[in-house]
Chains A and B, each alone.
Chain A
Amino acid sequence: MLTLTPAATVTADVPWLTLLVVWPLIGAALLWLLPRPEKTGAAGPRRVREIALGFAVVELVLAVIAAVTAFGSGADSGSYQLYEQHQWIPQFGVSYALGVDGVGMLLILMAVVLVPLVVLASWKEQGSESGPTNRLRHYLALVLVLTSFMVAVFAARDLFLFYVLFEAMLIPVYFMIGAFGGPQRRYAAVKFLLFSLAGGLIMLIGVIVLYLHGPGGTEGFLISNLTGLDLPTGTGRWLFLAFFLAFAIKAPMFPVHSWLPDAAEQAPAGTSTLLVGVLDKVGTFGMLALCIPLFPEASQWAAPVIIALAVVSIFYGALLALGQQDMFRLVAYTSVSHFGFIVLGIFAFNSTSIAGSSFYMVNHGLSTGGLFLLVGFLVARKGSAKIADFGGLQKVTPVLAGTFLVIGLSALSLPGLSTFVSEFLVIVGTFATNRPAAIIAAVAVVLAALYVLWTYQRVFTGPVRDELAETKDLSGRERWVVGPLIALMLVLGFYPAPALHLVDEPATTTVTQVGVTDAPDLVTAGDEGSEQ
């Protein structure tokens, strides 16, 4: 991708992160360069899928090795590991700088776990219906391109690089929605793009202004060079707002969430999984890794309003989820609710709640990703995502029903599943600094139970409908998609220590950066609570 002149500071022996960025791109290029399926006969589409899956799995293996290399020996997860830095556009002060702290690494791992599952879930999409002009390879190539961008954006340590990836990521997603989605896909794709682009461009002004307040020079965009600037109060607040708006749109938070339900409804299930599971995390990740360190004063200034909006998001998302007829939209609204929790935890400025939010990002990716994929399987069976079109499925498809229930329970934070740990930490941490918000947010858990169980009830219980009597249960491939997700939820639910180790120290760092006195250390208490 980039041929760069090497510069001095390289703290990684092997450029793991660059490798993780480049590897999927090679896969995508390979998919596009393959001879067209109609020329290779029936073997065409299969090979495409297998190549994509191969690349995705190798990417996962590479990421795990990288994570073990970086943090396996108990390295400080609050510092940036696997750091690489090269000059990119020295005239603008732009570097190609990658590095991950615990949170970034965890999100990268979450992303590369989801990618092979998405590839596997898309196994039968796009191929058969379009006949000889098989479009699956375009879809899978876009998934791989997106993978590369996702890894890079969580690892970017240069503000310009982050911005470029933040915006460039839109293009593959745009095509993944617009070219492969449902009947209203064009509208959804354009809406998605314009919302994101508008937020991003406002942020661009912020990026430029911040750079001009920074030290400048050929490395002026390095986040480390922009952290801790002595910004004038007014400027800092405006800049914070410019950044926050972009991230709030991405996250998405009430009231700038309205693109998400449309996008999720129209996109293929795999796209929604990556969009909501991973991409939207860039929003909350940006708040955590950019907004707060860059503008600590403004973050504190804005925190009350943001917490209020987060609480509104929690309820608004949950209530609207209850009213949805379409399961994709339902899952999208539950995500708005969950993102409210994440944002609440971040802006409660408490190391427990921030650690909880960081962990929540991962768990939400797993549970929501799982829900989207399962709804996708349902749609593949019935050709509709309307709740009213289903009923009584648990008698016909017990495995599908069971997995849906488990993943649904994880979405409502049942103890023993990983989301519980994170939601608990968020609420406990918030309770220490902002009691009313914590109490109100806790009430929303009831709503979560309602929207998950009521949906389960309508889709899977009751008398079996005649037209659904022949519905097939999950195939072996589909079980392989859902199985790993459930396993991860259980493992992280009962033994969250490795993940918490990764998010713990960054949370402490963040709290220090904001400059508030931390509430009593509740992280360990949280661990015990979850394991009991």
Chain B
Amino acid sequence: MIFNAPDIAWAQLTPVLFPLGAAVIGVLVEAFAPRVARRPTQLVLTMLALLGSLVSVGLLWSDVKDTGGTDVLGGSLLVDGPTLVMQAVIALLALLAVLIAADRTSTGEDAFAPQAASVPGSGYEESARRAGLQQTEVFPLMLFATGGMMIFPATGDLLTLFVALEVLSLPLYLLTGMARRRRLLSQEASMKYFLLGAFASALLLFGIVLLYGYSGSLRYSEIATAVTGTTGMDGLLLVGGLLLLVGLLFKVGAVPFHSWTPDVYQGAPTPITGFMAACTKVAAFGALLRVFYTVLPGMRWDLEPMMWTVAIATMVVGTVIALVQTDIKRVLAYSSIAHAGFVLTGVIALEQSGITAVLFYLLAYGAATVGAFGLVSLVRERGTTPAGLPEAAQASLGVAVAAGALPVGSAPAASTDPVDVGTGGVDDEIKDDTTVLGEATDISQWAGLGRTHPVLATTFSLFLLSFAGIPLTAGFTGKFAVFSAAVDGGAWPLALVGVIASAAAAFFYVRLIVLMFFTSPTGGPLTDSEDGTTRPRTVVVTSQGFAVAAIAICAALTVLLGVLPGPVLDVISQVAVFLP
């Protein structure tokens, strides 16, 4: 038996090779580099890999624009226009997310557990924290995930699709469980994500099997031919196609396959949440778009009822449930579900303009998402442990306050100063009471941030306005594009539901703005929120610079894509044609 080695066009693979190669090197760094050198090395390596990815997309661009793209590795990867756009968007958003994840802020601690293997609450964990350990494996893990995400929308056969799905998912399962604070919540989220993700993977695999049985091939192009050419066995095709879509819709977070989203987004370390919410969605929608436009258009009439139902349910459920959330990460999680619904309207349009619209929307949404979660990661609570404090602890805190450990009266003024953690002079017990804890994710804790931290609150409002789709922000341009595509494709009821959902969704975005700007800042260390529980005081930690840079880029993108989207739309629409 002769085995022909495939002819590999390495140049076409460089955007993917950079992150994956750097991830492998990163693992070696973990194994061999001394501890002090690991973090800087990993950081530089990750940045360079993602920048390299961006540059190589740029180098491939003109070629793809002229030729329409090529298939690589015997058709396993299709390097065409949409692939390059999505790879560039993923690399860019991943770069921003990495910057946010790398930021240790003025507390000197990043968002990840010092020793992820330690049992939460154990003495081992505490000693790891005191020793200042950190899990620099985060960076190669993010790179592996990024590599998988870049392959996911680019594959031309179902098997590679499945492999890419696993490559992107497994590191994310792991990263989800690595939060520094609320570790049990984080680990629970990781477990849920893993179990449900594995379930969805199984469905996807089952769909692949059925489609293979139907068409005798794993290649998109050959399945597409079979869909139009073969008669009989329609049951196999239909069930296979539906299962394939279910697997993809799970990753997208569409209703009814969304139930993992809020828990995972809430439990995961916030920079990772931003990374997942933005990049995974781009990758998954990329794959969905390709499958929908190149593999299944022959089944359009069979799939339309299901896709319409899913899109409408996603928009409505995401919006309605977001209205009643009280945790800011869950609000953003449900809002991301609603956004998945909006993007789906563009996918379903099956119009040429739909591809451009979806790609643009993903970029606009991704920029705002990474930025918003980046800001969430900077707003922390200070004081004792979470809500529902035992009486004794409250009493002791009262003593600490009385002893002057906290500048109670001058709360807003004090919180603008860099956080003074571990400056000594305070004994351990009181220090524990005043350290900066995890993120202040209860929305009541965001009250008055507009007064105390106008820049942060204004930037966050900008992202919220973009989510809400207010004109002159990127979100509006994106919404306009997908709704136009939907109306153009005859799906105007979807667009109608979309705008109604947008109006309702505006309510909870606006509610946050109201809270930040029109409500007085909460004063003391423990304040009564509306539900009667007490919450620690909110402080904003100072970024080391990485996160601020990333958030600034996100904000600039949000404004730029809102005010002058022309050039970007132009670039995308030039190449928005799938290889068959």
**What residues of chain A have their CB less than 8 Å away from a CB belonging to chain B?**
1-3, 87-92, 133, 163-165, 167-168, 170-171, 174-175, 178-179, 185-186, 189-190, 193-194, 197-198, 201-202, 204-205, 208-209, 211-212
Contacts and interface: CB of A to CB of B under 8 A. Distances in A.
17 contacts: A88-B564, A91-B570, A92-B480, A92-B481, A133-B451, A165-B471, A178-B514, A194-B506, A194-B510, A198-B500, A201-B499, A202-B500, A205-B483, A205-B492, A205-B496, A209-B492, A212-B488
B510 A190 contact: yes
A186 B518 contact: yes
A297 to B, nearest CB: 21
A212 B483 CA distance: 12
A243 to B, nearest CB: 14
B159 interface: no
A136 B44 CA distance: 46
B400 interface: no
B403 to A, nearest CB: 29
Interface residues of B, number: 36
A208 B351 CA distance: 15
Contacts of B481: 92
Nearest to B483: A208
Contacts of B518: 178-179, 185-186, 189
Interface in B488-507: 488, 492, 495-496, 499-500, 502-503, 506-507
Contact of A205 (B487, B488, B514): B487
B507 A208 contact: no
B356 to A, nearest CB: 8
A174 B465 CA distance: 12
Given A164-B471, A164-B472, A205-B495, A197 B506 contact: yes
DSSP majority for the A interface? helix
A189 B565 CA distance: 30
A95 B173 CA distance: 47
Please give me the 8 A-B residue pairs with the lowest Cβ-Cβ distance, nearest first.
A201-B499, A164-B471, A91-B569, A198-B503, A167-B471, A178-B518, A168-B471, A89-B566
Given A190-B510, A208-B483, A89 B492 contact: no
Contacts of A178: 514, 517-518
Contacts of B472: 164, 168
A212 B356 CA distance: 17
A464 B321 CA distance: 56
Nearest to B356: A91
Contacts of A1: 563
A189 B510 CA distance: 10
A204 B499 contact: yes
Given A3-B564, A92-B480, A197 B503 contact: yes
Interface of B: 356, 451, 465, 470-472, 476-477, 480-481, 483-484, 487-488, 492, 495-496, 499-500, 502-503, 506-507, 510-511, 514, 517-519, 563-566, 569-570, 573
A3 B567 CA distance: 12
Contacts of A190: 507, 510-511, 514
Contacts of B500: 198, 201-202
Contacts of B499: 201-202, 204-205
A208 B495 contact: yes
Contacts of B565: 89, 91
Contact of A212 (B487, B563, B564, B570): B487
A163 B499 CA distance: 14
A171 B470 contact: yes
A133 B470 CA distance: 29
A179 B495 CA distance: 33
A242 B361 CA distance: 25
A339 to B, nearest CB: 23
Nearest to B511: A190
DSSP majority for the B interface? helix
A171 B569 contact: no
B564 A204 contact: no
A190 B508 CA distance: 10
B483 A204 contact: yes
Contacts of A171: 465, 470
Nearest to A193: B510
Contacts of A204: 480, 483, 499
A194 B503 contact: yes
Nearest to B572: A91
Contacts of B480: 92, 204, 208
A158 to B, nearest CB: 13
Nearest to B496: A205
A40 B122 CA distance: 54
B477 to A, nearest CB: 8
A343 B372 CA distance: 43
Contacts of B506: 193-194, 197
Nearest to A178: B518
B556 to A, nearest CB: 15
B51 to A, nearest CB: 28
A164 B511 CA distance: 22
B503 A201 contact: yes
Given A170-B470, A208-B495, 11 more contacts: A1-B563, A2-B563, A91-B573, A178-B517, A193-B506, A193-B510, A194-B506, A194-B507, A198-B503, A208-B484, A209-B487
A170 B573 CA distance: 31
B569 A2 contact: no
A89 B518 CA distance: 35
Contacts of A92: 480-481, 484, 569
Contacts of B564: 2-3, 88-89
Nearest to B360: A91
B131 to A, nearest CB: 43
Contacts of A208: 480, 483-484, 487, 495
A486 B391 CA distance: 66
Nearest to B501: A201
B517 A179 contact: yes
Nearest to B566: A89
B566 A88 contact: yes
Given A163-B471, A164-B472, A189-B514, A201 B502 contact: yes
A167 B488 CA distance: 23
A135 to B, nearest CB: 10
B418 to A, nearest CB: 20
Contact of B517 (A168, A175, A201): A175
Contact of B470 (A3, A167, A185, A198): A167
A45 to B, nearest CB: 18
A115 B237 CA distance: 66
Nearest to A194: B507
Contacts of B492: 205, 209
Nearest to B485: A208
Contacts of B569: 89, 91-92
Contacts of B451: 133
Contacts of A91: 356, 565-566, 569-570, 573
A165 B476 CA distance: 12
A197 B506 CA distance: 8
Nearest to A170: B470
Contacts of B484: 92, 208, 211-212
A198 B503 CA distance: 5
A208 B483 CA distance: 8
A502 to B, nearest CB: 29
Greatest chain A CB density within 10 A among B476, B480, B563 is at B480
Contacts of B519: 186
Nearest to A135: B451
Nearest to A167: B471
Nearest to A175: B517
Contacts of B503: 194, 197-198, 201
A249 to B, nearest CB: 12
A89 B563 CA distance: 9
A164 B499 CA distance: 15
Nearest to B506: A197
A212 B488 CA distance: 7
B179 to A, nearest CB: 33
Greatest chain A CB density within 10 A among B471, B495, B500, B565 is at B471
